[in-house]
Structure 1
Amino acid sequence: MKGLDSYALKARYYPALLATIPALVALAIVISRAKFSLTTGIASLAIPVLVFAAADIARRVGKRLEEKIYAESGGKPSVTMMRYSDGTLDAASKEGYRAFYASKINQPIPAEEAEKANVKADDAFYERGGAWLRENTRGKKFGVLLAENITYGYRRNLLGLKWPALLTNAALISLCGYFLYKKGELNTDDETTIALLIVVALAVVHSLFMAFSVSKQSVIEASRQYARQLILSCETFIGTQAAPAKPSKPRKTKAK
């Protein structure tokens, strides 16, 4: 855990844990009720491996979903918000941000007429400017931006695990339902019955959460919030450049 940064922990592993909770609980119950053996030892080791695998799947599927969402919504928010035709940010501020981009990436500022002719004509300029900002806004100084990025990554990756989680829950409910139906034949004790009912209840509640709370719209909202904060981070650099240098204090000389 010490080797994980804040983003990796909250945006990748938290969604993986949340998406696999019913399966982890079921596995933990099986391990706790079985006598210790090589099989239970392997099952115990499988828990962190399962979470790691889920985090990796979430990131890969989330990135594919990201590209699909951008294509459906007209482009990356950090790019579309900088277009002349977008009204998210005021025109005067965007003019200053474009000038700042131009000074950092050594490209001329796009012309409004070119955008009117082809709305995506100058997106490469905004893409390069956004890339410069992402590379130069890492660190504690940009804590608000990091928080927005984590929220976006968390929602995107959780959306990537939505259907795998729902399918896993369906399998757990079916399996537990089978054991509860056959409990007489299997001589299932009361504790095992209660454990199975807990897994079923958790899987049902978890499925409702994944079905109704995890959505594409929530990812779009988070992506726009992050993009807006990323663009506004220009103010920090512009303010630093505009701040006058403090006059140096005269050195005191010792009297001879």
Structure 2
Amino acid sequence: MDFFDTYSLKARLFPAILTVAPVVILCLLCASWVDPGLPEAVGAVAVMVLFFAAANLARRFGRAKEREIFSDTDGRPRNPELTHADSTFPASQKGRYRDYLAAQLGLPAPTAHDEQERPRDAQAFYDQAYVWLRENTRDTEAFKLLFNENISYGYYRNLLGLKPIGILLNLLSLGVAAAIVHYQPAFASLSNGKLVALGGLAAIHFGYFVLGVTRKAMLDASAIYARQLVLSTEALMKRT
């Protein structure tokens, strides 16, 4: 049943649906829903299987894209919000968070001098701090806003990983539709009007994948999630 949890639905299945949408629309337009028969039944089953397969691929391709983009930091985003040099939060606020996290980790918090002279040691502290924060904010009800930002990041990451497939399916669907109109096979029918409608939807789909599904969108979502993760320190401090 994990396939139906909120994260899987929004961060994996939704990108999968967007990716295979051209194929689904083509199947819907070609089928005869007034008098459905075996082709329509097979098509409906095929679409459901396609959704399930694409959702699984979304996670795999998203992870691969994440490793590619963050290849210089071991395949994971490395966020600077808690460092002395970063200006996302006021110095006093960051200081309170660093001291709290240092107490939880049993490690000294890096100073500005440490970040300059021993950057690897300082980064090791911040890496552990972020891991600790993620592990202690898994309560999706208590940290609902953080959970939503995590879903947003997963959505953009997975959709970016599927982007080449989405564009390819878009073009293939148009090609298949044009062939159906031209050759009029016995197993499918498609009018010129439906072909025009499919072309319009394909243009919108193509534009979204080219302009909206970008590395910048993924990085922006990552930064927003990281900021909210740091802010969750405030709630954790109140519990102790």
Q: TM-score range by the shorter chain?
A: 0.7 to 0.9
SS of residue paired to 2:239: helix
Contact 1:78 1:231 in 2 (8 A): no
Match of 1:48 in 2: 48
User: 1:190 deviation in Å?
Assistant: 8.7
Report deviation, 1:74: 11
State the alpha-carbon separation in 2 of the partners of residues 52 and 27 from structure 1.
17
Cα contact 1:78–1:227 (8 A) shared by 2: no
Q: Which runs of 5+ in 2 are unaligned?
A: none
The match for 2:99 is 99
* Structural mapping, 1:77-92, within 5 Å: 79-92=79-92
* CA distance in structure 2 between the aligned counterparts of 1:175 and 1:41, rounded to whole angstroms: 20
Specify the alignment match of 1:249 in structure 2.
none
More deviation, 220-229/76-85: 76-85
Letter in 1 for 2:113: E
What TM-score comes out, normalization by structure 2 length?
0.86
Q: Which has the larger radius of gyration?
A: 1
Q: Which residue of 2 aligns with 1:171?
A: 172
Determine whether 1:158 maps to 2:164: no
- What secondary structure sits across from 1:32 in the alignment? coil
Equivalent residue runs for 1:1-256 within 5 Å: 4-32=4-32, 36-37=37-38, 40-71=40-71, 79-137=79-137, 138-182=139-183, 192-241=191-240
How many equivalent pairs are there? 238
> Take 2:165 and 2:188, find their aligned partners in 1: how far apart are those partners?
31
Work out whether residues 105 and 129 of structure 1, in 8 Å CA contact, stay in contact via their aligned partners in 2: yes
- The 2-side partners of 1:150 and 1:181 are apart by 43
Determine the C-alpha separation between the residues in 1 that align with 2:57 and 2:189: 37
Mapped contact 2:26–2:177 kept (Cα < 8 A): no
Q: Which runs of 5+ in 1 are unaligned?
A: 242-256
Give the Cα–Cα distance (whole angstroms) in 2 for the partners of residues 66 and 4 of structure 1. Answer: 23
Q: Which amino acid aligns with 1:131?
A: V
Shift of the 75–113 alpha-carbon distance from structure 1 to 2, 3 Å rule, reads farther
Partner deviation per Cα, 1:127-176 (whole Å, 9 max, x = no partner):
22212211221231111111111111111111111110001111111222
* 1:33-71: CA deviation from partner (whole Å, max 9, x where unpaired): 68522x543332121211121112121111122223334
Following TM superposition, by how much is the alpha carbon of 1:30 offset from its aligned partner in structure 2, in angstroms? Answer: 3.6
Normalising by structure 1, what TM-score?
0.81
CA deviation digits over 1:13-48, x for unaligned, max 9?
1111122111111123344368522x5433321212
* In structure 2, distance between residues paired with 1:3 and 1:181: 40
Q: Judge which range, 166-175 or 74-83, deviates more.
A: 74-83
Q: In the aligned structure 2, how far is the partner of 1:189 from the partner of 1:21?
A: 18
Contact 1:15–1:158 (Cα < 8 Å) also in 2: yes
Whether contact under 8 Å (1:176, 1:196) holds in the other structure is: yes
2: CA distance, partners of 1:116 / 1:5: 44
Deviations 1:216-242 (Å, cap 9, x if unpaired)? 10111110000000011000121233x
- What SS does the aligned partner of 1:233 have? helix
Structure 2 vs 1, CA of residues 17 and 190 (structure 1 numbering), >3 Å: closer, same or farther? closer
Deviation (angstroms), 1:77 = 5.2
